[in-house]
Structure 1
Amino acid sequence: MDYMTLKEASKKWGVTPRRINYYCAADRIPGAVKMGTVWLIPKGAQKPADRRFKSTRCKDGENK
């Protein structure tokens, strides 16, 4: 299986490496493995959903 680092995932998903570190520590990225002090994330992993908002909420504030 191919893996990417926190830095590569941060560029791909548009978030900071620290945020991805939190995702890995909270088991929100399936298949993420910690090797020593480095998290390895599967290349095909999807960015976890933002839990601050409901999935039905639009970005402009309207509920549909």
Structure 2
Amino acid sequence: SFGFNLMATSNYHWLLSFSRAEQVLLSNIDEDGGCRRKCYRVVRQLKEDVWCPGSKPVITAYHLQ
């Protein structure tokens, strides 16, 4: 389904997961002929190689989206 899922991380904590909704949005992001998907890939690669090469990144993929 399109939306979000509830995931139990313990007996008292629940986490909302929007990964499926994000996948659907990103798959249709360039229907108008834009280049947003290519730009996202370039920025993500810059993050991994240049900005945050260590194991604890300051910028996450969530920030880039």
- Bigger CA radius of gyration: 2
Higher relative contact order (CA 8 A, sep 6+): 1
Tell me the TM-score normalised to structure 2 length: 0.29
Tell me the TM-score normalised to structure 1 length: 0.29
Structure with greater helix share of residues: 2
